[in-house]
Structure 1
Amino acid sequence: MVIESEVGPRVFLTAPLSLEEESDVADYRAPNLLQRILSLFSSVRPGSDLTRIQLPPLFNLPKSQLQCYGESVYCINNDMLSKCGKGENSLERLKSVVGWSISTLRPLMFGVAPYNPILGETHHVSKASLNVLLEQVSHHPPVTALHATDDKENIEMIWCHNPVPKFYGTKIETEVHGKKVLRLLNKQENYVMNSPKLVIKLLPYPGVDWIGNVTIKCEESDLQADLCYKGASLLSNKGYRSIKGKIFVTSTSKTICEINGHWDRSVTTKDICTGKVNEIYNAKESLSGMKTPIVKDPKVVMPSESTFVWAEVSQSILTRNWDKAKQSKAIIEEKEREFAKERKSKSENWIPKHFRVSYSKELGWESTPNERWVPQAPIIVPT
């Protein structure tokens, strides 16, 4: 589904990424895709940084990476986020946070990728009382900041992501540096977590996996969840998209419950003492039939809005007009290069509009929003 605004900046909104059986991502996949991808990376050495490679539109989803990050927060059916703050005790709240964190992952299609956001690009969407704002605060290296607030539930999120993809001959691994912070303001609890790695396998067979270890820690409650995302083995799909982990007391390392399941199906917790099993995440309930955002007030859509910046490229991809898509994308990328040269010639540093950004070897990239609350957006998710 595509929504185009009739007044103000021309905006294109596509359906959110969903479960594979419902996704239309396959419509964008090119024939002989593996051969083309291998050809694309034939001149790239193992270990190379891929952040500066510009993919042709044939390999792009009709949306920016900012939209993909944003969708993982505002596109979900059941209200898992508000549930995080309603648990009767800190353990129940952590279980809900674990379930919510799993819901931010989406099954991805091999061979297509979102656009690399340009510097200063933004994405601003609201769903009921939840308002989400993202900004590309650095281009090289690519760094995305996210701020989301829900004044009704008194919840705040701050993310700072720096994806670092590298080519290793038979696969591409993307480590997502940076942290996510979920704040339950009514409970005065802060949950700090990292992200799994995205692995694109080229050989011996193509595929996309989320793998690696994730930690979700709440210092205020002295509780922590350790999760391990596993992918398919070389010889079989056993364990494909499985997730295992535990919730324990940080100070004593005493395990309270075990976590098991598959992040694209169902995930449960099992109490160590009682043996009671509870489902904390159901992918079909959460990600099926999600609604496409719509433009509520096109007159106030920012010129930096992702769905405006990439509108012509997205429309051309959807209509399979590859020549026009290539031309439109080249114009955007050339303007980006010209702005970069101009800043360099004037010795100017880019200053983000909505965030203060810092970097250190110890902590990596960190972002602080300029405003306490994110305002209502001109783009909304129907409820």
Structure 2
Amino acid sequence: MSPNDSKNRAGFLNSLASSITNFGSVMTKSVNGLMGYEGIEVINPDGSTEEAEEEAGRGRWKQEERDGYWKMMQKYIGSDITSMVTLPVIIFEPMTTLQKMAELMEYSHLLDMADKTQDPYMRMVYASTWAISVYYAYQRTWKPFNPILGETYEMTNHNGINFIAEQVSHHPPMSAAHAENEHFSYDCTSKLKSKLLGNSIDFYPVGRTRVTLKRDGVVLDLVPPPTKAHNLIFGRTWVDSSGEMIMTNLTTGDKAVLYFQPCGWFGSGRYEVDGYVYNSAEEPKILVTGKWNESLSYQACDTEGEPLTGTELKEVWKVAEAPEKDKYQYTHFAHKINSFDTAPSKLLSSDSRLRPDRYALDTGDMTKAGYEKSSLEERQRAEKRTREEKGQRFVPKWFDETEEVTPTQWGDLEVYQFNGKYLVHRAAADNSEINTDMESTKFNPWQFQDTSP
């Protein structure tokens, strides 16, 4: 952040934030010596002082499962385990990473409003609020399935949006996505990087997200904060994000810098977000504050970041009502994108909804889900061997790898761009008179058809 930003943060919102973050950090209990485990920390976001053994036993793992998994994972501490470890289905939700990327579209009406407004600073309020709105869904403690190379996910029937995502690389795991309606287009290349810390794991968003607002052609760039999952094996798993989210208008130089508060004692500060929209001269124009699991509000401010006299906070976004006691902590929108309600006619056979392991888990058949997951992973390895024997490389269908490599603070990113072929395919499929039964279509992301294990 620039010196100007640091000075401005000393105003209204900074005084509020410092009183929270200085209160303390989450309660950490060591389980040293507990059942033979050494150096394991169980972090309780509620800050209660219950005994470490009691807290450690409150996770979703059975004792024997936890013992075996911990022994296996110890050797990976300090490593990026994004695609190098085979994980049991007990920790998965019946959704893939590609589908989870589509959850960012739930509150896409905020991007419509950003495109419609003539106020350049409100444009940044709407757009940055859109970027924060997905964090309510991202707090789920279940892991999505890693997509198979060539797997896709399509979404229609929501706010006039056509959404397509594709797994474009397996090592390293990378996904690309494109969405658009009459107001905006969205493009994302994602290469998630992780670091296992024992009973927790850090996730670093090595990616590039661009949004183009169609009326004026302005381009917005998003850099989200890292995320941490606590208590993977011992204790109740919980997810938190802390640090800065920066959205920059690459056309005008305006930007929004919003700070996600870390969780403190007894949950203080958790979920809280505050910051400013700045003009191109790095002067604060609008303050933004709220909680990413409840609502966000905005208010005009002076050059010191203090609210302008005669103005008041106005709510810009509120989280939608969610199902109660949902097994996987899904929102109503998550259920919608996991169904065929948002699927186009003549769905691609590579679509995530058709994965047999995802479907088995969704119906509660853990044994079949584990078997199908292993079968898909083995066939993916067989495909890789076949490509190597033929001297071929995988080429995505709907995205092209560019020569651009974008540096991020967590590593370099190879950028993929939408090639437009999907729009041609979708128009032809929609105009076809041939009807297909989506629910009986076999999952088929494969490049070769003769590599079944």
- Aligned residue in 2 for 1:360: 405
Does 2:246 correspond to 1:200? no
**Aligned residues of 1:58 and 1:317 also touching (Cα < 8 A):** no
Distance 1:167 1:347 in 2: 34
Change (3 A) 1:288 1:347: closer
Deviations 1:90-135 (A, max 9, x none): 1111111011111232344665201001111110111242100001
**Aligned residues of 1:122 and 1:133 also touching (Cα < 8 A):** yes
Q: Residue 351 of structure 1: which of 395, 405, 410 is its match?
A: 395
One-letter amino acid matched to 2:98: L
Change (3 A) 1:296 1:113: closer
Secondary structure of the structure 1 residue equivalent to 2:251: coil
Deviations 1:129-157 (A, max 9, x none): 2100001111111111011111x33x110
| 1:94-109 matches, cutoff 5 A | 94-108=124-138
Q: Residue 247 of structure 1: which of 265, 277, 282 is its match?
A: 277
Deviations 1:298-343 (A, max 9, x none): 87221211111x2x21232234322211111111101100111111
Change (3 A) 1:32 1:259: farther
Secondary structure of the structure 1 residue equivalent to 2:122: helix
Change (3 A) 1:341 1:289: closer
**Aligned residues of 1:133 and 1:147 also touching (Cα < 8 A):** yes
Change (3 A) 1:38 1:112: farther
- Aligned residue in 2 for 1:46: 78
- Aligned residue in 2 for 1:18: none
Deviations 1:30-74 (A, max 9, x none): 44489366455233222343322121111110111101111221x
Distance 1:54 1:306 in 2: 19
Q: How many residue pairs are counted as aligned between the two chains? A: 343
Does 2:342 correspond to 1:342? no
1:231 deviates by 3.0
One-letter amino acid matched to 1:283: V
Deviations 1:198-249 (A, max 9, x none): 211127864211222211011323310011222313x431100111211112
- Aligned residue in 1 for 2:21: none
**Aligned residues of 1:266 and 1:282 also touching (Cα < 8 A):** yes
Deviations 1:165-213 (A, max 9, x none): 1102342001111111111111121111122222111278642112222
Larger radius of gyration: 2
Q: Structure 1 unaligned runs (5+)?
A: 1-28
Q: Residue 330 of structure 1: which of 347, 352, 374 is its match?
A: 374
One-letter amino acid matched to 2:148: I
- Aligned residue in 2 for 1:271: 300
- Aligned residue in 1 for 2:92: 60
Change (3 A) 1:38 1:227: farther
| 1:152-167 matches, cutoff 5 A | 152-153=182-183, 155-167=184-196
- Aligned residue in 2 for 1:300: 346
**Aligned residues of 2:296 and 2:318 also touching (Cα < 8 A):** yes
Q: Residue 207 of structure 2: which of 178, 184, 187 is its match?
A: 178
Q: Residue 242 of structure 2: which of 211, 218, 229 is its match?
A: 211
Does 2:165 correspond to 1:134? yes
Secondary structure of the structure 2 residue equivalent to 1:179: strand
Identity %: 20
Q: Structure 2 unaligned runs (5+)?
A: 1-58, 303-307, 323-329, 431-437, 439-453
Q: Residue 121 of structure 1: which of 133, 144, 151 is its match?
A: 151
Higher strand share: 1
**Aligned residues of 1:51 and 1:164 also touching (Cα < 8 A):** no
Change (3 A) 1:255 1:296: closer
- Aligned residue in 1 for 2:364: 320
Query: Relative contact order (C-alpha < 8 Å, sep 6+): which is higher?
Result: 1
Higher helix share: 2
Q: Residue 81 of structure 1: which of 111, 116, 123 is its match?
A: 111
**Aligned residues of 1:110 and 1:200 also touching (Cα < 8 A):** no
One-letter amino acid matched to 2:204: E
Change (3 A) 1:138 1:167: same
